[in-house]
Amino acid sequence: MSGAIDWLHHDTAGLLLLCLVAIALLLFLIIKIKLEPFISLLATGLFLALAAGLNVRQIVGTALKSSDSVLEKGFGGILGHIAVIIGLGTVLGALLERSGGADVLSRRLLRLFGPKGTPVAMGLVGLIFGIPVFFDIGIFVLAPLVYVAAKRGGKSLVLYALPVLAGLSMTHAFLPPHPGPTAVAGLLHVDMGWLIIIGLACGLPAFAVAGVLWPLYIAPRVPVSVPDEFVIAEKTQDGAEKPEPSLGLVLAVILLPLVLILGATFGTLILDPHRDLLSVLTFLGNPAVALLLAVLLAYYLLGVRRGMTNAEFSELSSNSLKPVGMILLVVGAGAFFGAVISATGVGAALATSLSSAGLPVLLLAYVISCGLRIAQGSATVAIVTTGGIVGPLLTADGYSQAHLALIAAAICAGSIILSHVNDGGFWIVAKYFNMTVKETLLTWSVLETVLSLVGFGMASLLWAII
């Protein structure tokens, strides 16, 4: 018996078997038991640690000292990196939503593109507004604008809804400060500027195919009308006159953090490391600093100057941050799961197997992420679990920041494939855009799959070039 246990702890096949059992347990807890992903990840991580032979002090530390434990290192390491970024990004999105920035952006783009270009204009609205705003919040805010465009255009609601959804989904999947990309950047130690560059390089072509070409093909085949109850809502909206910010101001607030982060990344590449200018760019381009500056700018220009009181801002911030707590717990538990994989030697065993099999790490990352997404529905769980599995494989091979960002993009691409009935986003789309389950599968599920495949295809192409 002891010989079997030793084999399980030290043999490559035994460690990989343990990892597969742990993933199966994780999926069972989430799908069948319907346990919260945070609790499921934590329980599975502890099971894997004990089964792989880690002692209790390694896992949780002692009563006097736990800071060196796998549990605290896993949680603390990632949350120290992403908590501030996600929190500030959430508040920034709430300020933009409250100020009416989406209305301003959509009307200007609709005028620019004209009636025939309305679907493209709606896609750009989703793409730009989706940078600082969570996916589901983006749907809540932009759905009435989609209804208006569909009523004026007289065609299927699908033609106007899918471009918006593609824009929101692309930014949510590939760009910070959204939870998935931000989390995988921390897990793989990717510079945020490189993540933005690669995310745009992979995501924009995916958006063009899924958000422009796919709606043009599928909309005539899936006729969907605007919900009847929207008639009253539209009149109420038109009757309320609210002061609105300028388009330039809205774009400045959205793009400021991205510009600052990219400035630091490019500055590191082209400037003398001993020059003061690089120090300034590095400070301003830190994601937390860049987002803080954007929030303060938005608070003053979109809030104070337009009559928002401190009490209203405090209420807005509190309400917007409520959903963030569970997101952070899921990411922290996923990071702990990854730390266990590293500490138990599962990561090294997987690396050995990959080397002998010749399977590219980029493909492995994508396939694992796809499998987890399809099985349990949550993109965030798919990302943090895949990042924990793949992360230990990358430490010894000296990958460049560009290659690490491409692996992160592959994981993010896999996390959005084939949204179906186990994904909360599937039901939000069906509800807000008046579609049956069959219609949602034909439109939204395929859109997500196209986004995923084209995004991964771009990552593969760039991997071959860089």
Q: Is the pLDDT at 432 greater than 80, yes or no?
A: yes
Q: Band the pLDDT of 172: cuts 50, 70, 90.
A: very high
Q: Band the pLDDT of 134: cuts 50, 70, 90.
A: confident
**Does residue 354 or residue 125 have the better pLDDT?**
125
Q: Which of 340, 197, 180 is nearest to 263 (CA)?
A: 197
Q: Is the pLDDT at 59 greater than 70, yes or no?
A: yes
Looking at residue 239, its pLDDT comes to: 43
Beta strands per DSSP E along 133-253: none
Contact (CB, 8 A) for 374 and 418: yes
**Mean pLDDT over each residue of the chain, to the nearest integer:** 86
Kindly report the pTM of this predicted structure. Answer: 0.85
Q: How far apart are CA 284 and CA 133, in angstroms?
A: 22
400-414 average pLDDT score: 95
Q: Band the pLDDT of 221: cuts 50, 70, 90.
A: very high
Question: What's the farthest any 2 CA atoms get from each other in the chain?
Answer: 78
Percent of the chain with pLDDT over 70: 90
Q: Which long-range contacts (CB under 8 A, 24 or more apart) does 235-240 make?
A: 237/144
Q: Is the pLDDT at 109 greater than 80, yes or no?
A: yes
Looking at residue 234, its pLDDT comes to: 42
Q: How far apart are CA 57 and CA 70, in angstroms?
A: 9
Q: Band the pLDDT of 11: cuts 50, 70, 90.
A: low
Q: Band the pLDDT of 392: cuts 50, 70, 90.
A: confident
197-202 average pLDDT score: 97
**Does residue 431 or residue 358 have the better pLDDT?**
431
| CA distances to 23, 49, 72 from 371, in Å | 11, 23, 28
Q: Band the pLDDT of 352: cuts 50, 70, 90.
A: low
37-45 average pLDDT score: 89
Task: Reduce the DSSP state of residue 421 to 3 states and report it.
Answer: coil
Looking at residue 341, its pLDDT comes to: 79
Q: Band the pLDDT of 2: cuts 50, 70, 90.
A: very low
**Does residue 347 or residue 420 have the better pLDDT?**
420
Give 3-state DSSP helix, strand, coil % of the chain, rounded to 5. 80, 0, 20
Q: What are phi and psi of 415, to 5 degrees?
A: -75, -10
Q: Band the pLDDT of 459: cuts 50, 70, 90.
A: very high
Q: Is the pLDDT at 6 greater than 70, yes or no?
A: no
Looking at residue 65, its pLDDT comes to: 61
**Does residue 214 or residue 16 have the better pLDDT?**
214
The string over 60-81, giving b where at least 16 C-beta atoms fall within 10 Å of a residue's C-beta and e elsewhere, is bbeeeeeeebbbbbbbebbbeb
Looking at residue 455, its pLDDT comes to: 98
Q: Is the pLDDT at 15 greater than 80, yes or no?
A: no
Q: Band the pLDDT of 306: cuts 50, 70, 90.
A: confident
Q: How far apart are CA 60 and CA 357, in angstroms?
A: 35
Q: How far apart are CA 86 and CA 79, in angstroms?
A: 10
Q: How far apart are CA 27 and CA 44, in angstroms?
A: 10
DSSP designation for 175? S
